[in-house]
Structure 1
Amino acid sequence: MTGPQRLLLSAACAGMLTGIVPAAAEGLALEPYKMVRSLQRMHDEIADGDKSALGMQREMVKLIDEGFRTMEAAAFRAPKNARALISYAMAGGNPKTLESRIADLGQKDDEIVRLAVAVLVYQKGAGRTAASRLQDVDPVGIGGLFGASLALVRGLVTKDDEQARIDFDTARLLAPGTLVEEAALRRLMTIHKRRQDPVSFLRVASRYARRYIASPYAIQFAQEFVNAVVEMDDVMDMTETIEIIEFMPEPYRGAVTVRLMRKATVEGNTELVRRISELSETETEMADAPEIDPEIGARQVLYARISEVTSENVDKVADELQRIDRSELADSDRNLLDAVIAIARAVTDPEPTVTAAIPSKPVPGGEKIFRESVHEEQDKGLSGFDEFVGGAREKLENIDQMLEEMQ
């Protein structure tokens, strides 16, 4: 959707909200099924990164909920209203509203009532029961966004990865360009990572990066992407991986790059850090490249230098690390920088000290862990590069765990 179209939709939704409130006060029919359609369009705008739609969502949900609660019982026999009620529930609506109106949808053996009960069970957190009740549902036969939403819900409650994969693929194919597809793609990434399927993972990740990178839920995409690339590095097509990163606009590209470099550094995958570092250096040399956030640039330098350490250049790299502008690093990365410098010095200093690695401001609950890990390394009396690499990786993992707890 173009920028002008998005503005028009936002204005239309705002107008709808201001116009509906007086109508509600006068007791007029609100036609909730129309508002559910507007909510679904609003969700698609949210998937596109429209913050104004995200802000209006709460008020729209309140109006829809009130409309369903006050609707006459006979009105729910109309399929458009019954489906709208269930769609509202699948979109995160109030489960009490669906529960209070199920009896108005028909007899307990009616298909629409069975669907409503299954969705209500899902809303209440009984995933296994919901999966059983949705087992014979045909999302493709139902079709449209309603069928896509049912497929998404069933995929969420299904324990079998293969069945969940089928449902998530069905959901995204039935509702392309929607928040349903966005959610399905994120969950497909998790499944493909768990199944160690790099080809399928990259295919799904590429679709997400090209379509939904502005989504407010893209942080989950970034986490899955970074973890999968590091975990499956030995079988991952790095050329395609880098193409996906290159396609991302700034600041997403820089943020994902630095997350990936940090994860690879902690895991001791120096080769992956070097490859990502080379990509970053190529981008900064481009004349038309956007200006890089100083903090992101400093973090990339930090991880790149760590990946370059060898037994021959440990002193040189330690000196380069000390020249990094600490003001452009986050607190957690300053601590990591101090730790790496201390470990590097321990390789060549016969009586290494650890004061350089202790944060200037002690962190509650974290200093004890940090001191113990560094002293433990000191007692080993590192003398060779093999010991250094193994010990550094262990220390980085301990430090990273500490920093995660601090955050």
Structure 2
Amino acid sequence: MMGIKPQLKTGIFRIVLAGLLLAGSIAVARSQDVGSGPLPYELVRSLQSLQEQVAQGNSHAMIAQRSLLTKMDVTFVEMRPDVWQDPRNARAAVIHLLSGGHPEVMRYLLSLDPAPVVDRKLMEASLAYIEGREEDLLDLLEDIDPLDLPSGLGGHVALVKAAPYIRSDPARAMELLQVASLLMPGTLVEEAALRREVFVAGIMGDVDHFRVLSTRYLRRFSNSIYAGDFRRRFALAIDTLGFVKSEDKFALIVPVLHEFDADSRRGLYMRLARSALLAGHLNVARKSTEEALILAVEGTREREILKVYSAATRLEPEMISENRDLLWSIDKSALSYEDLALLDGVYTVLNSVRHFPEPPENVIGEFNVASNIADPEDRSWFTPDMDVAERLLLRTEKSLAVMGEEK
């Protein structure tokens, strides 16, 4: 373990320790009949109740869910083997693993004789999913229709079965995700399915479906613990679906944006504004910037960036005075390297406009030379052109002085 970071050592130690403890529990379970209390299907009901609260944003339920899963890992291997002859309990074992249970539990159950009363392919498929064996997963679930299963299990199976198709066959993935949502409404399965449906709609370029699904998610699960993942997927999709290409297409996404909280909405409008600017769609960039400015707080970094966007969207000669004052008010220290590059681009365009206004005090020549020049030692405000001009002036002064002496 030499060379491994202490945090990584700790993580590896915990994983190994958990595996050893679970293996010990399995050995004990094989040698004696242990366990009384809630049956597996009853524990799964409690787990699903907690998951519904997680989908509604309850962070305490998230912690309780982890504790319950750990308890189930141990309890399931301590159950008498005949417990798994009840189909409800056997199905619960599959749900347990697909909900985050330890794979060693399923390996133990697969070794039992008689086997748990559930299709063995479902048990093996759940293990393949957890271990990332997509080809095995597809082979095992090929002939299994989630709609033929009890809804509590079918929803999980549909969600899992969709995963390998998302890239290879998004239309098929969408069908399975819709089944998952329909079989388990209001649960964490529906929440996860909707998040993935939004992503798949983006891949397929289905604007209408994308809008409908996004609105449904935001109205049902905007407080979910996993809503951050949805916002990330949504932001990526609005880039690929081309909402900045025209004002008509931009208008389609505006009602969806208003379903977001103010902070998220501001960030999305800023993202749209930048994308529209870089693509040269100034009308969309202007509208996005105006919406973001309404939500931006004065004195923040975002406000300074939006000043750049605002100036970039109104480069007409009649706006040059207003733009000049706006650009001079920007705190450049708040801008990133990319933002400064964009700002330089705006200055370049403005400096090419020939309707120059009179500069204010302490400003010489170019728009981007606005600083306090009272300190003669401070030359940070000099541009290369000004430096050349200064040397030419000094040379001219010397020549004039020599001519005066000769006379």
What is the TM-score with the length of structure 1 in the denominator? 0.68
- 1:199-256 CA-to-partner distances (Å, cap 9, x unmatched) read 1111111111211122232223223322332332248743341111112233333343
User: Considering only CA atoms, is the larger Rg found in Structure 1 or Structure 2?
Assistant: 2
343-352 vs 197-206, greater mean Cα deviation:
343-352
1:272 deviation in Å?
Answer: 2.7
Aligned to 1:252: 264
Give distance in 2, aligned partners of 1:64 and 1:303.
56
Aligned to 2:303: 298
8 Å contact kept, 2:191–2:221? yes
Which of these residues, 55, 71, 82, is aligned with residue 90 of structure 2? 82
Structure 1 unaligned segments of length 5 or more: list them: 1-25, 285-290, 357-407
Aligned to 1:261: 273
Aligned to 2:164: 157
Letter matched to residue 242 of structure 1? V
Change (3 A) 1:268 1:96: farther
Number of equivalenced pairs: 319
1:164 deviation in Å?
Answer: 0.9
Change (3 A) 1:346 1:212: same
2:153 counterpart of 1:141: no
Aligned to 1:342: 344
1:317 deviation in Å?
Answer: 3.2
- 1:30-89 CA-to-partner distances (Å, cap 9, x unmatched) read 433322222212112111111111222221111111111211211111111111110011
1:322 deviation in Å?
Answer: 4.0
Give distance in 1, aligned partners of 2:311 and 2:232.
22
- 1:269-311 CA-to-partner distances (Å, cap 9, x unmatched) read 4333223234446x66xxxxxx969648616734641541426
1:149 deviation in Å?
Answer: 0.7
SS of the aligned residue for 2:111 comes to helix
Which of these residues, 109, 121, 138, is aligned with residue 114 of structure 1? 121
Aligned to 1:132: 139
Give distance in 2, aligned partners of 1:38 and 1:105.
28
Aligned to 1:362: none
1:148 deviation in Å?
Answer: 0.7
Aligned to 2:130: 123
Letter matched to residue 269 of structure 2? T
Change (3 A) 1:352 1:86: farther
- 1:118-169 CA-to-partner distances (Å, cap 9, x unmatched) read 1111111111110121111121121422111100000012332221111001
Identity %, equivalent residues: 26
Aligned to 2:67: 59
Which of these residues, 29, 32, 36, is aligned with residue 44 of structure 2? 36
Give distance in 2, aligned partners of 1:229 and 1:130.
31
8 Å contact kept, 1:298–1:325? no
Aligned to 1:182: 191
8 Å contact kept, 2:257–2:265? yes
Aligned to 1:71: 79
Give distance in 2, aligned partners of 1:303 and 1:40.
49
What is the TM-score with the length of structure 2 in the denominator? 0.68
CA RMSD of aligned residues (A): 3.3
